[in-house]
Amino acid sequence: MTDWEHTFQQLLEGQVEEVKVPKEDFLFVRTMLIENGWLFEVVGEAKHGGITIYRKNSITPTS
């Protein structure tokens, strides 16, 4: 498990409230979220300077 996977696992388990991802890691993190099926479990908010802040999605998607 990579550091980002571990960090997002902590977010999904409620151990941390948010994860800040710098712009140089954004594409890697997005790919990892897609591959692990976590993309809709988090919400990303783009900030000035290319930083994205991810928080756990309080609304689960319906089928």
Confidence of residue 63 (pLDDT cuts 50, 70, 90): very low
Instruction: Please give the model's pTM, rounded to 2 decimal places.
Output: 0.87
- 23: amino acid identity, one letter: K
- Distance between CA atoms of residues 61 and 1, nearest Å: 26
What is residue 21's predicted lDDT score, i.e. its pLDDT? 97
Whole-angstrom distance, CA of residue 24 vs CA of residue 10: 21
Q: What are phi and psi of 11, to 5 degrees?
A: -60, -45
Q: pLDDT: is 59 or 27 the higher one?
A: 27
Q: For the residues 56-62, what does the mean pLDDT come to? A: 77
pLDDT band per the 50, 70, 90 thresholds, residue 61? low
